[in-house]
Structure formats: structure tokens, C-alpha cells
A and B are shown apart, each in its own frame.
Chain A
Amino acid sequence: MSIEPIIGQYVTVKVAGTLRRIYFEAAGQGRPVLCLHTAGADTRQWRHLMNDAEITAQNRLIAFDMPWHGKSLPPEGFQTDEYMLTTEAYIETILAVVDALSLDKPILAGCSMGGRIALQLAALNAERFSGFIAIEASDFQPAWYDIDWFHRPDAHGGEMGAALVSANISPFAPEAERWNTLWMFMQSGPGVFRGDLSFYTRDDSLIARLGQIDTTTTPVHLIVGAYDLTCTPEDARRTADAIPGATLSVMDELGHFPMSEHPEGFRPFFIDALARMHASHSKAA
């Protein structure tokens, strides 16, 4: 029996004029690293890295559940609203959390839609961060599926979403972590995965902004798994090529949820990414 070092707390911030009670977890000390979960999931995706003593010896990892996700409640009145995540609301939420937690230029690490918004912030609000780790992130991914499948009264959107995203998990992933990863999708609230996918599959505004990212002051490193059918290595390569100075690592045996589906396999790539942030930051300084 052991008690994990992860500490969970709540903070209330204002986004789009309304209060959001946000759950966040933190572990470690030193350089702050703000971690963003994927669509349809929550902070638990980061628990393996947050429990990694070698990583947390010099990095303070902070992860939060987006409103509607995990232990963060939707805002008052959600019962009559249609949840559709937008780039603007996503950015406002992240910056509100950075302010509320007094994070001084954290590294921003995001996966999937979290990686997409990390690149948006690299383009639009780089001065608030010291570097960006964009995991399974690309400029734009139109949906080959109908996002409305995942919010309908005659079927369980969470179970369908989990079955769909299982296509993005590597067969090298340990069985237990494959299913822990899928469980989060199964638990996702009604319409939440759909609302996240709306942002991910319909907003292509990042494409025109990639060229304005300045990696000399804020390094950008992309990481992509070969088994990711959603953001393929080709998608990540195209995106990295459009960002002057960005770097890319391809993980041959991992998929779309690397920190969650196969933590041991992802670990060296994340440590390498953190080192790139440090090296580039020092060089720029």
C-alpha cells in the first residue's frame, strides 16, 4: 500500500463571464508543466507521469479537468446549453487556470485536442509560456465520422466513443492501461466528446497561424505515435514542417493516448521533450 504524491484541489475561475469550478492535480517541484488531457477524457491520463519521481524531482506537473470533464462541473445552466468547445473558450480557460494558479511561464504539454490548443497558444499567447510539447497534435483533422453519433438518446455515447478511439491505441499498450484509457471515454458526460470533437474536427484556424509561431523564444516539440489513426505521423510531420524550428519525434509502438495507454513506452519521449524545452530555453536566454 502506498499513497501517491498527486494532490487534487479545486479552483474557481471565470470563463465567458460565468464561474467554472475546476479540478486540478499537481505533483512535484520546480519548473511548472501544465498538462492538457485529450477530448472526452480527463486528468487521469497524466497520472503515470505525475507519479514518476524522476520527472517530478525537477518539474511540477499540473493537470486540470476542463469544465464538463472529469471532476470539473459544467457551468450553471448546462442543462439547456449545447456543449460545443471553441478555440476562444479553450484558450480563455487555460489562461484563467494559469492565472488562478499563479503559474509563471509554464511549459504547456497537451495531447490531441490539448496539443492542438497548445499550438494555438504558441501562435497567439506564447509570452505566457516557456515552451510547448504538442502530443498527437496536428494543424487540422476533419472528421471521417459523424460527431453526432456520440450524443443520441438511443445509444451510449461513451461506449461508442471508447470503441471508436480504441482504433488509436497501439497493440503494444499493456492491456490494463488500454482499458483504463478507454474507461475515461466510457465515463464521459453526455455530449461532451461530441462537443470536444466539434473543436477538433471543425476549427481549422490553426493552419494559417502555424507560420507565426516563434520557436526561438518558445520551443515547440511534437510527438506522435505510429498507431495513431487520428493524427498520423504524416499529419504531425506536415504540422511540424509548417512551424519554423519545430522538432518532431515519432514513437513506433505507441498510439493517440501515449501517456495513458503505454506510460513506460511514452516516458523517454516525454523526458526528451522536457529536455528540449530546457535546452532551447537556455539557448534563447
Chain B
Amino acid sequence: MIDIFRALQEQLNQTPHLLRLGRLFSETVLIEVEGQEFYLTFEKGHLLDIAQGPSRKTPWRFALRTDADALQQFWQARPAAGFHDIFGLVKIGRGQIDGDILCLVKNLRFFKEFMGLARPKTGSAA
């Protein structure tokens, strides 16, 4: 899983419009996959650090908790209904989003498109 986040980090650096959209986004996001914690620290739209947990000392702004299969389906070019969006994962009971939701919503396009970077380019979902 950490390899995927490193690939996302690389892709983000090569996606100028996302770096522009995220220029005010400097937060740590917790992605929890079947209990495994990954702390993604963004600085002005760049993903500076990916730290694997568990950690009780790392503050985070908001969290997306899901399972590996759900993420694999999310990263399909054309995901099945419900797997096509992070809020879809929540809707179908395969994900949970908590923490400072307003912070997420203010940066929602940036974060959703960041998460979608692992999709094959033929897909249009965001």
C-alpha cells in the first residue's frame, strides 16, 4: 500500500493543476486501510511525507478509513457505483471519513483528484 502512496506522491508532483489547486493545503491526512495507518503530510499542495503508523503522536486533520479491496475498486478506470467516489465508499459502508470534515470539503476537489491519481487515465471519475 505504501508503494501506491509513493506513486501518488510522484504523480502529484507531475500534475501542475493539482499543485495549483492545493497551494493553500498544508495538512496531515490519515488514510487507514484495514487498520494500517498511513499519515500523508501535505505542504502547499505537495505531498512531503508518507509515514506508516501506528502512531498516537501524529496529529491529523481528517481521516479516510477503508479496506484494500475497496481502494482497488476505487482505483479502477470506471469503478462500480459506490466505489467511484470517497463519499460513495462511505455510502456503501466501505469507508469512513472523520475529523475536520469542513477542512476536507474546502479542499475536496484537490483531495479527491489526488486520490484518483492512481486510476488509469481513460477514466473520468474524480
Contacts and interface: CB of A to CB of B under 8 A. Distances in A.
Interface of A: 145-146, 149, 155, 159-160, 162-164, 166-167, 169-175, 178, 226-227, 229, 232
B45 to A, nearest CB: 15
A159 B124 contact: no
Given A175-B124, A178-B124, A170 B108 contact: no
B112 A163 contact: yes
A171 B105 contact: no
A169 B86 CA distance: 13
Contact of B84 (A149, A227, A232): A227
B78 interface: yes
Q: Which of B79, B102, B123 has the most CB of A within 10 A?
A: B102
B20 interface: no
B124 A163 contact: no
Contacts of A149: 102, 105
B108 A163 contact: yes
24 contacts: A149-B102, A149-B105, A159-B109, A160-B105, A160-B106, A162-B109, A163-B112, A164-B87, A164-B108, A166-B109, A166-B126, A167-B84, A167-B86, A167-B87, A167-B88, A169-B125, A170-B125, A171-B79, A171-B124, A172-B78, A172-B124, A178-B124, A229-B87, A232-B91
B108 A171 contact: no
A166 B126 CA distance: 7
B115 interface: no
B108 A160 contact: yes
Nearest to B109: A163
A172 B105 CA distance: 24
B7 interface: no
B51 interface: no
B77 interface: yes
Contacts of A169: 125
A44 B102 CA distance: 30
B81 interface: yes
A171 B102 contact: no
Q: Tell me whether chain A's interface is mostly helix, strand or loop, or mixed.
A: loop
A155 B106 contact: yes
Nearest to A252: B81
Contacts of A162: 109
A171 B77 contact: yes
Interface string B20-37: 000000000000000000
A227 B126 contact: no
Contacts of A160: 105-106, 108
A42 to B, nearest CB: 21
B84 A170 contact: yes
Q: Which of A146, A159, A170, A227 has the most CB of B within 10 A?
A: A227
7 smallest beta-carbon distances between A and B, as pairs: A171-B125, A163-B108, A167-B85, A163-B109, A171-B78, A175-B124, A226-B81
A166 B112 CA distance: 10
A163 B105 contact: yes
A159 B78 CA distance: 24
Interface string B75-102: 0011101101111100100000000001
Contacts of B79: 171
Contact of B124 (A155, A173, A229): A173
A234 B92 CA distance: 12
